[in-house]
Copies of this chain bind each other. A is one copy, B any other.
Amino acid sequence: MKAVGLVTEYNPFHNGHIYHIQQAKAVTGADVVIAVMSGNFVQRGEPALFDKWTRTQAALANGVDLVIELPTFYAVQPSHLFAEGAIKLLTALGVEDVVFGSEHATVDFLNLAKQAPSVQGGKAFQEKNQTFAQAYATQLESETGFKLEDPNDILAFGYAKAILNLNSPIKLHAIQRVAAGYHDQSFTDDQTIASASSIRLALHKGKLEKVKGVVPNQTLVDISSANHTVDFESQFWPLLKYRLMTDTIGQLGQVYQMAEGLEHRLAAVALGEPGPQSYQSFIKAVKSKRYTFARIQRTLLYTLLNVKVDQMQAAMQDPYLRILGFTDKGQAYLNGAKKTTTLPLISKVDQHLAKANLRLDFKAGKLWQLLAREPDQQQDIARQPIHFTQAHTKEDK
């Protein structure tokens, strides 16, 4: 069976994702669609709107055959590490083609990556009031003439770099993004495709009617019945403030991605008198031009999860393929891949795994439950992959 790989967050699953799946099959002629999907937290450092099981269900109901969780230590990372993690998993699964949306689908990203400056020396050319990504893009443009600034292009570039680094056989296929820009914050009633962020924004404003035209039926079902984190900030902020007020500066300084004395600023602002009254005003107060919003938010999430540098580095050395769900076709593909894959395939998480390799995903799942005020729907232990069939859905036994 020929499989095509997609790198996804499905936050939430919408019509653009259906188009992506259809195009992926059309472009590659694949029989099986495999999605590597962020778990309960996404690349921006936020909780996913719906938990990983709900999003897996939506993906399987709309054409994906196998959903593999992108572990938290890859998923909540700058784009190059996010992309490398996803390519590593897809390579281990024997996937030979990856199809992705891009703002510039005619660009040969693999060729671009070959010409690109090394990241290693990156720190040297980062100017004051400039993010690292901006500095890198400036240098890349001066060497190649291509301006790397659109979010999907940046991810595509990350896939290409990963393929080179990992010596992966994966071939990249860009499809032109249509209709909705990644950062678009609104959409019109006659659109059938809208960006995930504009959909989340509409849901945040309670505009359910508006969303109906741009998501499939399963997502509508989830919106009306599944637990979600639309207003996660109201829960996130007291927990973060609590963490910042009770940990020592020394403890905070060991958190992953806590750089350049940021821990001092975080603690000083959080404990200021009077301190910020909301998560948004807190981020605004600690943000500087050297860091993107997403970078700050990821660091805050790692602070909240109490993940130290050494724990993170150890975790990243030990990846795995966590199976969230499959169709019959996906299951058949898995049976073949089992024999050849170089990474452990995990379909069930017990107490031991939750304390070892999968500790970060387990903690992230527990935190997601807190943020979604959802005490009952356990995220990991005792959950079975979803076995989706057209007739009905069941947990695989």
A interface list, Cβ under 8 A from B = 238-239, 241-243, 245-248, 251, 271, 273-275, 277, 304-306, 363, 366-367, 370, 375-376, 378, 381-382
In the assembled complex, which residues on chain B have CB atoms less than 8 Å from the CB atom of A375? 274-275, 277
Kindly list 18 other residue pairs between chains A and B, CB separation below 8 angstroms, not including A239-B242, A246-B306, A273-B378: A238-B239, A238-B370, A239-B239, A241-B370, A242-B242, A242-B367, A243-B246, A245-B363, A245-B366, A246-B304, A246-B305, A246-B363, A247-B306, A251-B306, A274-B375, A274-B376, A274-B378, A277-B375
Interface centre among A273, A378, A382 (most CB of B within 10 A): A273
Question: Can you show 8 pairs from A to B with CB atoms below 8 A apart?
Answer: A239-B239, A242-B370, A245-B366, A245-B367, A246-B367, A271-B366, A273-B378, A274-B376
In the assembled complex, which residues on chain B have CB atoms less than 8 Å from the CB atom of A376? 274
**How far apart are the CA atoms of A30 and B274 in the complex, in Å?**
41
A244, closest chain B residue (CB) = B366
**How far apart are the CA atoms of A62 and B39 in the complex, in Å?**
58
What copy number does this chain have within its complex? 2
Whether B381 pairs with A273 at a CB distance below 8 angstroms is: yes
Which listed residue, B248, B251, B273, B381, touches A382 by the CB 8 Å rule?
Answer: B273
A270, closest chain B residue (CB) = B366
In the assembled complex, which residues on chain B have CB atoms less than 8 Å from the CB atom of A251? 306
A267, closest chain B residue (CB) = B355
In the assembled complex, which residues on chain B have CB atoms less than 8 Å from the CB atom of A248? 306
Q: Write the nearest CB–CB distance from A349 to chain B, whole angstroms.
A: 10
In the assembled complex, which residues on chain B have CB atoms less than 8 Å from the CB atom of A239? 238-239, 242
In the assembled complex, which residues on chain B have CB atoms less than 8 Å from the CB atom of A378? 273-274
**How far apart are the CA atoms of A142 and B275 in the complex, in Å?**
56
